[in-house]
Structure 1
């Protein structure tokens, strides 16, 4: 079947109207199923953050965060693949969907036919081979890293530590950020988003760009320069206060990260409350847990924004290849050749 991709147009077979109509319906079902899988992936990641990782107090700043992130990625991939399979088989109930089997390194679509989604769920005689699912998982994991994703970013962020989307920090002092640093933070925020929740603040940035385009004076910026560790955390130690007095903050290691206003207000209220109650110490973001209420712990853990466009959060439906028949691939190539010829004719007519 792979030979169809490399054959010249003259040697390609043709499809009857009935075969073309049937394959066209299958391709439409694959496209719809792929879109549903793409939607299911980030929704599952967000749900796991809310219902599993946040109650367990597992955040992206932990050393074991990549391991839990891999678990979260695998579960979300499994759900997306299941949604893809269920939706496609539901839209093709009259057709036995063919899956991948290998025999002497050749793809054979005449074995292991899938009966129906109900038979598969309740453990009927037909079962899905796991090799395509595992191969798709590995391919999506590779694409996740190529697109700049990190497994630790799949866990919620802690407001007293660098968040899951904190990639690049600007070295700074304990004092307020300078004008140049604030400008650099806006660029980092536009690229990586809020380091705590991941929001890129598209609407606010559009408003700012429109105001600057019409030369309307404005003093507000979408992203706030957040000190990490927070200055309020550092100043809880008497030794740090002495260093600040004697050495003018030269020995403090802090970095600036972009943060949205919502996360900044939450962080400020938490630091202020913990400082007033003497429950905060500079021993790490999670050290105050035993001394704090469950409500305060819940406020200090931020679930990442669901509506943040990132290529790394896309689920790529590599499984669709295992559902394609030779007629489907032939229809794709014939359609491409037809579009190619029309484009060439249009360019020739224009020239």
Structure 2
């Protein structure tokens, strides 16, 4: 039994080595087109965030944010996979005599999902699902691809500390700075070249204080006790929050963060992974 298992592993290793040697002939095409796909993915997410979600003022705290974020991730993955496929056709170096003794590798036969027949829809569905899985493996949150709002924890609110209706004291501010250096501003995600972070109350103090005033004036009403949490926030987002709370009609509560990239913005070249596995199976 052990012998057959080892034999199977050796066969897979030999087939994989053959495919790697075969693909190395056109390694530059794989590298360049994969780089294009890696660029298209965050750009597509940024465009969806700016053009769609920001326009209709839907932020990460919305009830449908996880579903909308999942759709944005999957569609951006499809766009990136198509970009990889198209770049492969345009950049590859193909010499017919090089493969006269065997079939061309799958790298030269990547399907182009443009006609959208039954086969193409299945291919796009596979790219959609594959991108979503990779996004979750890299610990991405679907709601985080939507813009943030200054009135609730932002798209990058990974960790916070318990606060109160008072301003943060020294030890809390020190802890907030440490969290900010690790995770960045909870609203826009920026963490590089930021000297200090502000302890941002969520929900904002002005909103919770308004609730307390209403409770005092309308004694018959009972508002639920609001649990305050503190999150790190950069000065720029703090000013945006201040302006919106002072004049909601003139300043939007939505803050976009398309340029703040994380590891889950990495796109794996799914068309090449599909083609590589297909070639390995063909050589077994």
**SS, match of residue 40 in structure 2:** helix
CA distance in 1, matches of 2:128, 2:156: 23
Is the 8 Å Cα contact of residues 149 and 187 (structure 2) preserved in structure 1?
yes
Pair 1:7-2:10 in alignment: yes
In structure 2, distance between residues paired with 1:9 and 1:67: 39
1:300 aligns with 2:274: no
Q: Show the 5 A alignment for 1:1-351.
A: 6-7=9-10, 23-92=23-92, 94=94, 114=109, 121=114, 123=115, 129-200=120-191, 202-204=192-194, 221-237=195-211, 239=213, 242=216, 251-274=225-248, 292=249, 295-296=250-251, 299-306=252-259, 308-324=260-276, 326=279
- Runs of 5+ unmatched residues, structure 2: 1-5, 97-102, 218-224
Q: What's the counterpart of residue 342 of structure 1?
A: none
> Which residue of the partner structure matches residue 345 of structure 1?
none
**Are 1:132 and 1:319, in contact at CA under 8 Å, matched by a contact in 2?**
no
Structure 1 pair 55–241 and aligned structure 2 pair: CA distance change class (3 A): same
Measured after TM superposition, the shift of residue 110 of structure 1 is 8.9
Question: 2:220 — aligned with what?
Answer: none
Measured in 2, the distance between the counterparts of 1:51 and 1:265 equals 24
Which runs of 5 or more residues in structure 1 are unaligned? 97-107, 205-220, 244-250, 275-291, 331-351
TM-score, normalising length: structure 2: 0.77
SS in structure 1 opposite 2:247? helix
Q: 1:4 offset after TM fit, Å?
A: 11
Give, in whole Å, the separation in 2 of the partners of 1:232 and 1:171. 17
Alpha-carbon distance in structure 1 between the residues aligned to 2:84 and 2:227 = 48
Shift of 1:237: 3.4
TM-aligned CA distance change 1:267 to 1:66, over 3 Å: same
* CA pair 305-188 structure 1, distance change in 2 beyond 3 A: farther
Shift of 1:165: 1.4
Relative to structure 1, the CA distance from residue 50 to residue 10 in structure 2 (aligned partners, 3 Å threshold; closer, same or farther) is closer
8 Å Cα contact 2:69/2:142 also seen in 1 = yes
Deviation at 1:179, TM superposition (A): 1.6
For residues 90 and 156 of structure 1, what CA distance do their matches in structure 2 show?
Answer: 35
CA distance in 2, matches of 1:236, 1:158: 19
State the alpha-carbon separation in 2 of the partners of residues 227 and 13 from structure 1.
54
Alpha-carbon offset, residue 51 of structure 1 = 0.6
> Contact 1:114 / 1:128 at 8 angstroms: preserved in 2?
no
TM-score (ref. length: structure 1) = 0.63
In structure 2, C-alpha distance between the alignment counterparts of 1:13 and 1:321, rounded to whole Å: 12
Mapped to 1, the partners of 2:245 and 2:10 lie a distance apart of 66
Q: What is the count of residue pairs matched by the alignment?
A: 261
How big is the shift at 1:147?
2.1
The alpha carbon displacement at 1:181 in A equals 1.2
* Offset from partner CA, 1:93-135 (integer Å, 9 cap, x none): 7589xxxxxxxxxxx9899x85996xx64x49x9964545433
CA distance in 2, matches of 1:312, 1:53: 20
Deviation per CA, 1:244-290: give whole Å up to 9, x if none: xxxxxxx542110111111001101111224xxxxxxxxxxxxxxxx
